[in-house]
Amino acid sequence: MDMSGEGEDVKKDPGSTAGEVSGARPAPPRDPLAIDPATIPQIDALELQRGRPLIVSDADEVLLQFMVGLERYLDTQDLWIDLRSFALTGNIKRKDTNEPLPPSEMPALLDAFFAASAHDLEVVPGAADALAALSDRAQIVVLTNVPLEAKARREASLAAQGLPFPVIANKGLKGGAVRRLAERVEAPVVFLDDIPHNLASVAKAHAPATLIHFIADPRLAKLLGPAPGSHFHTTEWPAARRFIEDWLDAEGF
Least confident interval from 25-29, 80-84, 101-105, 162-166: 25-29
Q: How confident is the model at residue 45 (pLDDT cuts 50, 70, 90)?
A: very high
Domain boundaries, the chain: 39-65+122-251
pLDDT of amino acid 87: 87
Which phi and psi (to 5°) does residue 201 adopt?
-65, -35
Asked whether residue 11 carries a pLDDT value surpassing 70, the answer given is no
The Cα–Cα gap between 212 and 105 comes to 33
pTM (two decimals): 0.89
pLDDT tens digit sequence for 96-110? 999 999 999 999 999
Name residues whose C-beta falls within 8 Å of residue 169's C-beta, 6 or more positions apart in sequence.
38, 39, 42, 144, 145, 146, 147, 148, 150, 151, 154
pLDDT of amino acid 80: 98
pLDDT of amino acid 28: 52
Question: Can you tell me the mean pLDDT for 220-234?
Answer: 94
pLDDT of amino acid 147: 87
Question: Taking the chain, what is the end-to-end CA distance rounded to the nearest angstrom?
Answer: 30
Q: How confident is the model at residue 16 (pLDDT cuts 50, 70, 90)?
A: very low
| CATH number, span 39-65+122-251 | 3.40.50.1000
Asked whether residue 246 carries a pLDDT value surpassing 90, the answer given is yes
Question: Can you tell me the mean pLDDT for 160-168?
Answer: 98
pLDDT of amino acid 31: 84
